[in-house]
Chain A
Amino acid sequence: MNFSFIKFRKIPLAWLLLTRQPLRLIVAIAGISFAGILMFMQLGFRDGLFDTSVTIHKLLDADLVLISPRSKSSISMSGFPKRRLIQTLALEDVEKTAPVNLTYLLWRNPENLKTRSILTLGFNPSDSLLLDDGFSRKADKLKNPGRVLFDKLSRPEFGPIEDWFLSEKKVETEVAGKRVLVEGLVELGPSFGADGNLITSRETYLRLFPANPKGSIEIGLVKLRSGSNPILVSEILKKSLPNDVRVLTKNQFIEFEKNYWKNSTAIGFIFSLGALMGFVVGCVVVYQILYSDVTDHLPEYATLLAMGYRLKSLFYVVAREGFLLALFGYLPAYFSGQILYSIVRNSTKLPIVMDANKTVLIFILILVMCMGSAGIAMRKLVDADPAEIF
């Protein structure tokens, strides 16, 4: 094993070709890294958007979700009769249900008194809304009218609510022109659709939003007994319930929201296009570098051919140069990506994270970029004619 490694070890020609021209190598690495960073940012924003659009969806304590068939996404929810939710209790598998109202209301920043629209959820404080452990304790406080829980990850334009709240200051402001008291903080996070979130009791919700039709809710949460199959139960419910309501599993509900952003908006396309631009820029840079490398060294490559090296081994050298460039270019892109992600996270509170998906995908894209360019640059090698070097 060790022996064969030593036997096949050769002069690292690709490495030396690259490193003996440090300036060109730096330019190449800078170009590839730039392309990589561009791709990381574009895909990061894209995934961040899709993820933030479902932060609340993911936290909901439910196996099945009922919505109106007219609802398109969380920013355009329609109501359906609350009765439908109660009807599901007829099924043995359904353990409990929770009606939820959802709309956008105007929040007044208590510091500068400007108003801004905030996503407001109304639910029964005795029901379980979120999977968060400490939440039910906070929910209890909503039983008094006019109390709200404020999402501390909301954008700062809503005011320094967290600071004021933690400094024992009584945080009082107006929602939809009516007085509310912040009774606690939750951690949900803004999305492209909502800059901030507010949770309150249905009672307070209806007081803040009296136009809500009686007996109408936007979301119905259904919790199943353990051991039930959500997909099976959802099929049964779909058949038994009238078509003024739509039954989704929790995952389908998450996909429903993501699909809205993917299909009904150009956001996915724009960010993918941005990533593609980075890819193209990278291709051009790598191709230029490798092509000029091959042209500069053509007589040397021809000499190697004259010595009895195969054209294939020369292709291999260029391919390895491409591979090395991919590695050298990817690493700085990855680390810069991490730094930029945290800057974006801190300034926009968007959950852009370096997940395995992007890490691998962008490495593959950079690899394809470098190896593809190497493949095109290789064609120039065919011009290396050993007969011409004497």
Chain B
Amino acid sequence: MRKAINKKDKNSKTVSINNLSHYYGINENKKKVLNNVNFFIEKGELVLLKGPSGCGKTTLLTLIGALRTCQSGDLMVLNNQLNGASRKTRQKLRRNIGMIFQGHNLLRCLTAEQNVQMGADLITNLTYLQRREVARKWLSAVGLEGHHKKLPNGLSGGQKQRVAIARALSANPKLLLADEPTSALDSVTGREIVSLLRKLAKEQDCSVLMVTHDPRISDMADRILNMEDGKIFNALSELR
């Protein structure tokens, strides 16, 4: 399997990172958080990122998600070089990246369906009704058929996270970034959510990079990256 992956051309890589470093603060307070990170994510792959608290996982995720300016090194995401990319480029690129957060971050004033449609609304070539159809389809896909008129307040934690997954996937992203999506859930629900995410992402051929501390979901990954002190150790190692 690994051989097959390596044979593919460079363009097939969703993310490819070379010598990426990142610093916080200025002058004497300057602190290196990412130290020469090198790795890649293939199309359709589900990669887990693990490491102790404070090692820089979230920082790496926000860089890949084009939410932060890249300071040094090569950062290719969906064939866009993010080192030196303009605000506009980053904003446009974000439309192709789905994000799932630790908190669900749903819009409190919107129903489940409307929240999902906020994602679908980014697909500009569809009409309103088509976009609503897309939203409904994704809500069903995450198993929330009967709940589309509910506000986030009326949903359980797991249901909210499902809505967040539906929202992230409804814009047809090529890459999904998730930062500890299961930390607020019990382990059974957590596993359920990840396997659902995995299934849906595979169907869409969407790559997933997920930060997690949860050892019970390791078996679902194609690959696991271990991070410590801003460095990735087994970047090329294959797991399991």
Interface presence of A83 (CB below 8 A): no
CB distance from B214 to the nearest CB of A (A): 17
Interface presence of B61 (CB below 8 A): yes
The 4 closest A-B pairs by CB, nearest first: A308-B95, A308-B94, A20-B109, A9-B128
Q: Please tell me which stretch of A218-226, A268-276, A297-305, A371-379 contacts chain B, meaning at least 4 of its Cβ atoms lie within 8 angstroms of it.
A: A297-305
Interface presence of B230 (CB below 8 A): no
CB distance from B158 to the nearest CB of A (A): 19
CB distance from B228 to the nearest CB of A (A): 19
Interface presence of B200 (CB below 8 A): no
Interface presence of B74 (CB below 8 A): no
Which residue among A9, A299, A304, A306 has the maximum number of chain B CB atoms within 10 Å of its CB? Answer: A306
- Interface residues in chain B, defined as those with a beta carbon under 8 Å from any beta carbon in chain A: 58, 61-62, 65, 67-68, 91-97, 99, 101-102, 105-110, 114, 117-119, 121-122, 126-129, 151, 167, 171, 179
B128 touching A16, Cβ below 8 Å:
no
B105 touching A11, Cβ below 8 Å:
no
Main secondary structure of the interface of A (DSSP, over half): helix
* A side interface size, CB within 8 A: 26
A390 touching B108, Cβ below 8 Å:
no
Residues of A within 8 A of B68 (CB): 387
Question: How far is B171's CA from A370's CA once the two chains are assembled, in angstroms?
Answer: 34
A306 and B65 contact, Cβ closer than 8 Å, known pairs A11-B114, A16-B110, A390-B58: yes
Interface presence of A17 (CB below 8 A): yes
Which residue among B92, B109, B171 has the maximum number of chain A CB atoms within 10 Å of its CB? Answer: B109
Residues of B within 8 A of A389 (CB): 101, 105
Interface presence of A239 (CB below 8 A): no
A307 touching B122, Cβ below 8 Å:
yes
A20 and B67 contact, Cβ closer than 8 Å, known pairs A6-B128, A307-B95, A390-B179: no
Contact of B91 among A7, A9, A11, A308 (CB under 8 A): A308
Question: How far is B101's CA from A11's CA once the two chains are assembled, in angstroms?
Answer: 22
Contact of A303 among B97, B107, B109, B129 (CB under 8 A): B107
A16 and B67 contact, Cβ closer than 8 Å, known pairs A300-B107, A307-B94, A390-B58: no
Q: In the complex, given contacts A16-B110, A304-B118, A307-B99, what are 8 additional A-B residue pairs having Cβ atoms less than 8 angstroms apart?
A: A3-B127, A7-B128, A10-B128, A13-B107, A16-B109, A20-B108, A300-B105, A306-B65
Residue on A nearest B98 in the bound complex, by CB: A307
Q: List 11 A-B contacts (CB under 8 A).
A: A6-B129, A13-B107, A16-B110, A303-B101, A303-B107, A304-B118, A305-B91, A306-B67, A306-B99, A307-B118, A389-B105
Residue on B nearest A301 in the bound complex, by CB: B107
Interface presence of A345 (CB below 8 A): no
CB distance from A299 to the nearest CB of B (A): 6
CB distance from A2 to the nearest CB of B (A): 10
Residue on B nearest A303 in the bound complex, by CB: B105
Residues of A within 8 A of B96 (CB): 308
Which residue among A6, A305, A308 has the maximum number of chain B CB atoms within 10 Å of its CB? Answer: A308
- Interface residues in chain A, defined as those with a beta carbon under 8 Å from any beta carbon in chain B: 3, 6-7, 9-11, 13, 16-17, 20-21, 297, 299-300, 303-310, 386-387, 389-390
CB distance from B133 to the nearest CB of A (A): 13
A309 and B179 contact, Cβ closer than 8 Å, known pairs A3-B127, A16-B109, A303-B107: no
Residues of B within 8 A of A13 (CB): 107, 109-110, 118
CB distance from B127 to the nearest CB of A (A): 5
Question: How far is B105's CA from A211's CA once the two chains are assembled, in angstroms?
Answer: 87
Question: How far is B109's CA from A20's CA once the two chains are assembled, in angstroms?
Answer: 6
Question: How far is B108's CA from A13's CA once the two chains are assembled, in angstroms?
Answer: 11
Residues of A within 8 A of B107 (CB): 13, 297, 300, 303-304
Contact of A11 among B61, B92, B121, B129 (CB under 8 A): B121
Residues of A within 8 A of B109 (CB): 13, 16-17, 20-21
B129 touching A387, Cβ below 8 Å:
no
Which residue among A13, A300, A390 has the maximum number of chain B CB atoms within 10 Å of its CB? Answer: A390
Question: How far is B127's CA from A129's CA once the two chains are assembled, in angstroms?
Answer: 69
Residues of A within 8 A of B127 (CB): 3, 6-7, 9
Residues of A within 8 A of B99 (CB): 306-307, 390
Residues of A within 8 A of B93 (CB): 308
CB distance from B148 to the nearest CB of A (A): 13
Residue on A nearest B69 in the bound complex, by CB: A387
Question: How far is B151's CA from A17's CA once the two chains are assembled, in angstroms?
Answer: 13
Question: How far is B108's CA from A17's CA once the two chains are assembled, in angstroms?
Answer: 9
A308 touching B128, Cβ below 8 Å:
no
Residues of B within 8 A of A386 (CB): 67, 94
Residue on B nearest A16 in the bound complex, by CB: B109
CB distance from B175 to the nearest CB of A (A): 12
Residues of A within 8 A of B110 (CB): 11, 13, 16
Question: How far is B121's CA from A159's CA once the two chains are assembled, in angstroms?
Answer: 72
Question: How far is B11's CA from A357's CA once the two chains are assembled, in angstroms?
Answer: 65
Residues of B within 8 A of A16 (CB): 109-110, 114
CB distance from B211 to the nearest CB of A (A): 9
Question: How far is B109's CA from A162's CA once the two chains are assembled, in angstroms?
Answer: 62
CB distance from B125 to the nearest CB of A (A): 8
Question: How far is B99's CA from A307's CA once the two chains are assembled, in angstroms?
Answer: 7
Residues of B within 8 A of A17 (CB): 109
Residues of A within 8 A of B106 (CB): 300
Question: How far is B115's CA from A20's CA once the two chains are assembled, in angstroms?
Answer: 14
Question: How far is B62's CA from A300's CA once the two chains are assembled, in angstroms?
Answer: 17
